[in-house]
A = this chain, B = another copy of it.
Amino acid sequence: MEGKNSVGVAVIGTGRIGQLHIENITSFIPEAELMAIADVNPSSIEHVAKKFAIPTVSTDYLQLLDRSDIEAVVVCSSTDTHAQIIQDSAQAGKHIFCEKPIDLDLERIDQTLKIVDITGVKLQIGFQRRFDVNFRHLKDLLLKDQVGQLHLLRITSRDPAPPPIDYIKLSGGIFLDMMIHDFDMARFITESEVVKVYASGAVLVDPNIGSVGDIDTAVVTLEFANGAIGSIDNSRQAVYGYDQRVEVLGSNGMLQAENDQKHTVAISKTDKIQRSSPPFFFLERYRMAYVDEIKSFIDSIQNDRIPLVTGEDGRAPVVIGLAAQHSLTEKRPVYLTEIENMKSVS
């Protein structure tokens, strides 16, 4: 490891996604050095620290913010703590990588982003799909003007199986928990802002999801500032595996990012040819994307450049998600300006 230039990092929150980042930083990212981890739960943290030979552990992330050898934090704690940790870290002069979403409350997001802005630290939001090799390649082709002006965008995003009901209850709903990734993808691909959304939803996978006030199947139409129209579909259950596709129709052609497959073997039998289903879930599909987003974050610190997913990129999909929720409730299309205005009124 070339210690001299490496960035000292602390990971805050050591649940599933925190451990993934810990493993990635220690195995794949020589440019970063993992100095410490923090988690409010002292029991799990010992195991993780031992497994990855991390020198410092703490149940209070504030202790880590005092250390001069820690330049950056990776925030993987529960959503309700994100805004506070970002604010504290920014005021301590630490660069911040934070899992999505920043918060579910727009005013709180704005207050947080203002502090980040004042302190001048870097903030990158964990929309890892932007780093997926397929979506990145699709975007590259768009930038190289391979299909001309954008007319239609279709995003399919389906989980292999719904999460536990306890998770659903606290998730903020399908639009802010699941489709928020697709709202980000829509902005990433089109480089245009969403103006209006119409959401249609249903409880088809599991009635328990309905009984806690959420839906499990949704189609959302997006109208963009550049005139293009988008359509996103989400399902909490695609039994064939994690389904993540993007399709763009342009004036000169079409781009389609298809699912990966686990292997390339085809079996030809009497009446069919079988191929591999896609990788099971996001940890498989986006394995390298999780590595590359942190690499990119570290690089933005080392080379003092703007992160590839900014605080504004973290805020915008929340606005779209709130608009989709509003549309579903009110059974009508909703302009994003309505959501912004609600905030200013409240």
Contacts and interface: CB of A to CB of B under 8 A. Distances in A.
Given A28-B27, A219-B231, A229-B202, A277 B267 contact: no
A219 B152 contact: yes
Interface string A271-293: 11111110000000000000000
A266 B272 CA distance: 10
A119 interface: no
Nearest to A263: B137
Contacts of A296: none
Interface stretch (A39-47, A101-109, A252-260, A315-323): A252-260
Nearest to A250: B239
A200 to B, nearest CB: 5
B274 A265 contact: no
B249 A238 contact: yes
Given A151-B204, A233-B231, A267 B255 contact: yes
A269 B241 CA distance: 9
A228 interface: yes
A134 interface: yes
B252 A269 contact: yes
A212 interface: no
Contact of A256 (B251, B266, B277): B266
A1 interface: yes
Interface stretch (A70-78, A141-149, A170-178, A302-310): A141-149
Interface string A198-233: 101110110000000000011101010001111101
A273 B270 contact: no
A29 to B, nearest CB: 10
A264 B257 contact: yes
Contacts of A27: 27-28
Interface of A: 1-2, 27-28, 51, 53, 133-134, 137-138, 141, 146-147, 149, 151-152, 154, 156, 158, 198, 200-202, 204-205, 217-219, 221, 223, 227-231, 233, 235, 237-241, 243, 249, 251-260, 262-277, 331-333
14 contacts: A2-B51, A133-B262, A137-B265, A205-B251, A219-B221, A240-B253, A241-B268, A253-B267, A253-B269, A255-B266, A256-B268, A258-B266, A260-B264, A273-B275
